[in-house]
Amino acid sequence: MTSPTKVAVVTGGARGIGRGCVHALAERGLDIVIVDLLRPEMERTRGEIEAMGRAVMIEEADVADHARAREIAAAVKARFGRCDVLVNNAGRGNPTGILEITEEAFDRTIAVNLKSCFNYIQAFAPLMLEGGGGRIVSMSSLNAHTGGVTSAVSKFSYAAAKAGIIGMTKALAKELGPTIAINAVCPGIIETELGNSLTRTRGAELAKKIALQRVGKPADVAQLVAFLATAEPFFITGQAITIDGFQWEI
Ligand SMILES: NC(=O)c1ccc[n+]([C@@H]2O[C@H](COP(=O)([O-])OP(=O)(O)OC[C@H]3O[C@@H](n4cnc5c(N)ncnc54)[C@H](O)[C@@H]3O)[C@@H](O)[C@H]2O)c1
């Protein structure tokens, strides 16, 4: 008897690192649910994954919206009856310093990067527990460790949110174990298809300060996420794993 197809939910899966994760998980035989704000980009990624023979569901939603996460979990349960993998990837930098940022902008950075993880873990953990197990991977950042002081795209509010993900990951590894394993990934500088202001303006200079002499690509991060999401046997939980080509002085 063949085992049922596993299902992965990837937030922010329309483009960038999330799209890389969607590809890597589909290549490993999982059906995919993408949650994102960008409908045309979700449609494009859906086409790519359906061409690989996998089922894809897309949900247009703001990950900061707690009620929508519950609705989407109910829709995933109705369509697939299971959720084996949750990748909390959606997130956004904030380049504003402490003396300039508004309360609303601070709250929004925390909501999109950190509360989103709470929203989706609370919504999907029951389905994982019902199914007898699951894996969660949340996208933190090297900035959680370094503060990202010289970064053009993200300052303290982003670093705080991404550091919060690490604390949440460790606490939930204890609370949800042994049934669910949960880890965080901390990428250094990753050049996505759109690029970011840092890699556009300082890519070559930054590469000189990275041991592997290049900035990362979505596929680099996706490889690690797919490992954490699917490897068997598996004995890793509550960890924050840096993937940065070993970056220093940035
Ligand atoms: N690119 C890097 O250098 C880097 C480094 C460390 C961590 N990260 C993290 O990796 C993750 C992916 O970043 P990326 O570089 O691929 O960025 P990206 O902007 O290319 O992709 C992010 C995706 O998330 C979606 N998204 C953003 N806010 C959302 C919201 N409120 N609701 C639903 N979807 C939303 C976007 O629409 C987009 O599809 C983020 O959490 C980011 O903080 C990126």
- For residue range 205-228, what is the model confidence (pLDDT) as tens digits? 889 999 999 999 999 999 999 999
Q: Which two tokens stand for residue 227?
A: 């490992």
What's the chain's average pLDDT? Answer: 94
For residue 19 and ligand 1, the question of a CB distance below 6 A is answered with: no
Topology at the third CATH level for domain 7-242: Rossmann fold (3.40.50)
pLDDT at 200: 72
Task: Find the 218 Cα to ligand 1 centroid distance in Å.
Answer: 11
- The catalytic residues are 158
**How many CB atoms lie under 10 A from the CB of residue 126?**
12
pLDDT at 151: 59
On whether the CB atoms of residues 83 and 124 are closer than 8 A, the answer is yes
pLDDT at 249: 65
Task: Find the 89 Cα to ligand 1 centroid distance in Å.
Answer: 6
On whether the CB atoms of residues 6 and 82 are closer than 8 A, the answer is yes
Q: Give the atom of ligand 1 at the shortest distance from the alpha carbon of 111.
A: 31
Task: Find the 4 Cα to ligand 1 centroid distance in Å.
Answer: 30
Going by DSSP bridges, is the β-strand pair 180-187/240-243 parallel, antiparallel, or unpaired? Answer: parallel
For residue 194 and ligand 1, the question of a CB distance below 6 A is answered with: yes
pLDDT digits (tens, 9 = 90+) for 195-204: 566 777 777 8
Q: Give the atom of ligand 1 at the shortest distance from the alpha carbon of 196.
A: 1
Indicate which residue's Cα is closest to atom 7 of ligand 1. 141
Q: How far apart are CA 62 and CA 167, in angstroms?
A: 23
Task: Find the 113 Cα to ligand 1 centroid distance in Å.
Answer: 9
pLDDT at 181: 98
Task: Give the residues of the chain that fall short of pLDDT 70.
Answer: 1, 149-153, 193-197, 249-250
Return the domain boundaries, the chain.
7-242
pLDDT at 152: 62
For residue 128 and ligand 1, the question of a CB distance below 6 A is answered with: no
User: Is residue 34 classed exposed, middle or buried when 0-12, 13-18 and 19+ CB atoms within 10 A define those classes?
Assistant: buried
Q: Of 21, 22, 35, 36, which is best to mutate to test ligand 1, by the most ligand atoms within 8 angstroms of its C-beta? A: 36
pLDDT at 38: 98
Q: Give the atom of ligand 1 at the shortest distance from the alpha carbon of 154.
A: 43
Peptide bond into 218 cis (omega under 30): no
Indicate which residue's Cα is closest to atom 2 of ligand 1. 190
Return the amino acid letter for 179.
Answer: T
The DSSP code for 2 is P
pLDDT at 131: 97
pLDDT at 206: 85
pTM to 2 decimals? 0.97
pLDDT at 250: 61
Q: Which two tokens stand for residue 198?
A: 């840092």
Q: How many CA atoms lie within 13 A of 205 on its CB side?
A: 7
State which H helix or E strand residue 207 sits in.
helix 197-207
pLDDT digits (tens, 9 = 90+) for 117-142: 999 999 999 999 999 999 999 999 99
